[in-house]
């Protein structure tokens, strides 16, 4: 096993290697083949291929000269108006090297740009259309001002499907000589939730410990409790045994080093697997939302979690 970070090692360089997002990839591929494309806005959750697809576009358009013709900026680090006025404009002023008539500017996490910087960016996008194309990447498109959105073709990315994640797991396991069974694959999918970057980081962390990866190792390295254990806490509370469920929950949090917010998100997922009426499940999910809100606002997480378990006992006893 090399010391390379796997998220970089397994980053695709062609469109066929990109997992998931098939409809988006097909449209982008057509833009690249004709060497003509509008400004692009990629929005969606983390780890689903926005940056990867942007780099694939650059590599396919410019070949060996892709680095000279591509400016990559992370807007969360450099988010002020000076970045747009200086770095972006200086790069956009010059013509591209090669037979493609424009350069690429990739702005990652562009929803972190200040509103002033976004206003400056809209003029830059307009003035340098002949020599430059922008690819903006963000988690929340609602944080991008409307004038910029109207200048871009908007593509909304989604979490990777289970089969795409399994395909990635199989590829990495084969390359790195890892022993992984179906149970481990499901555990990896549960903890990554369709985030390929998180998946590769967890797999690399597990591979450092052992080539034979087990579900226990996956949950341990991901710092999440096993779904079965969370379900057990809720089932005990629903049966009316508050003290035992409280003891089990505190033990879980200490064993895995979980915060209140971590565990309440896992609880929310496991509520649907409880053997109680659907109406009661809805009540508990509603209570999960209230508990999470209170913790975000600064309430003591242990008191809030105990309050939630007490509510589960009351709902279960009806």
Mean pLDDT in runs of 10 for the chain (318 residues)? 69 83 89 88 90 90 86 70 73 78 87 84 83 90 90 90 90 90 91 88 90 89 87 92 93 86 91 90 94 93 93 89
Do 261 and 284 sit in the same domain of this protein? Answer: yes
Bin 203: left if φ > 0, else alpha if -120 < ψ < 50, else beta.
alpha
Do 145 and 106 sit in the same domain of this protein? Answer: yes
CATH number at residue 212: 1.10.8.60
Do 171 and 68 sit in the same domain of this protein? Answer: no
Do 36 and 132 sit in the same domain of this protein? Answer: yes
Domain count, the chain: 3
Which residues are paired to 43 by β-bridges?
138, 156
pLDDT value, residue 280: 92
CATH number at residue 246: 1.20.272.10
What whole-number distance in Å separates Cα of residue 46 and Cα of residue 157? 10
Does residue 242 sit within a domain? yes
Do 118 and 28 sit in the same domain of this protein? Answer: yes
Do 49 and 85 sit in the same domain of this protein? Answer: yes
- Domain containing 145 equals 21-156
pLDDT value, residue 310: 94
pLDDT value, residue 291: 94
Does residue 261 sit within a domain? yes
Do 183 and 258 sit in the same domain of this protein? Answer: no
Do 138 and 27 sit in the same domain of this protein? Answer: yes
pLDDT value, residue 309: 94
Strand order in the sheet with 103-108: 70-74, 103-108, 132-138, 39-43, 152-156
């Amino acid at each position: 096993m090399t010391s390379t970070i796997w998220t970089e090692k397994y980053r695709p360089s062609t469109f066929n290697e990109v997992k998931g997002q098939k409809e988006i990839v097909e449209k982008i591929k057509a833009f690249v083949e004709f060497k003509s494309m509008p400004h692009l806005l990629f929005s969606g959750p983390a780890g689903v291929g926005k940056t990867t697809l942007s780099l694939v576009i650059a590599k396919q358009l410019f070949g060996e000269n892709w680095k000279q013709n591509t400016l990559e900026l992370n807007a969360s680090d450099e988010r002020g108006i000076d970045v747009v006025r200086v770095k972006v404009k200086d790069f956009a002023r010059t013509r591209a090297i090669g037979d493609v008539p424009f350069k690429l500017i990739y702005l990652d996490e562009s929803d972190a740009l200040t509103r002033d910087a976004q206003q400056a960016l809209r003029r830059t996008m307009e003035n340098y259309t002949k020599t430059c194309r922008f690819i903006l990447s963000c988690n929340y498109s609602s944080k991008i001002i409307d004038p910029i959105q109207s200048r871009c073709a908007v593509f909304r990315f989604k979490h990777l499907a289970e089969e795409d994640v399994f395909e990635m797991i199989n590829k990495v396991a084969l390359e790195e000589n890892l022993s992984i069974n179906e149970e481990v694959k499901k555990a990896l999918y549960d903890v990554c939730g369709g985030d390929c970057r998180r998946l590769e980081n967890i797999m690399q962390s597990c591979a450092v410990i052992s080539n034979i990866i087990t579900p226990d190792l996956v949950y341990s390295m991901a710092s999440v409790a096993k779904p079965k254990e969370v379900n057990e806490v809720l089932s005990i509370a629903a049966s009316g045994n508050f003290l035992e469920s409280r003891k089990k929950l505190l033990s879980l949090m200490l064993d895995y080093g979980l915060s209140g917010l971590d565990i309440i998100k896992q609880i929310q997922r496991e509520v649907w697997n409880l053997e109680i009426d659907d109406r009661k499940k809805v009540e508990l999910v509603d209570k999960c939302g209230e508990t999470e809100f209170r913790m975000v606002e600064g309430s003591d997480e242990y008191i809030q979690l105990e309050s939630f378990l007490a509510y589960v006992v009351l709902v279960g006893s009806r």
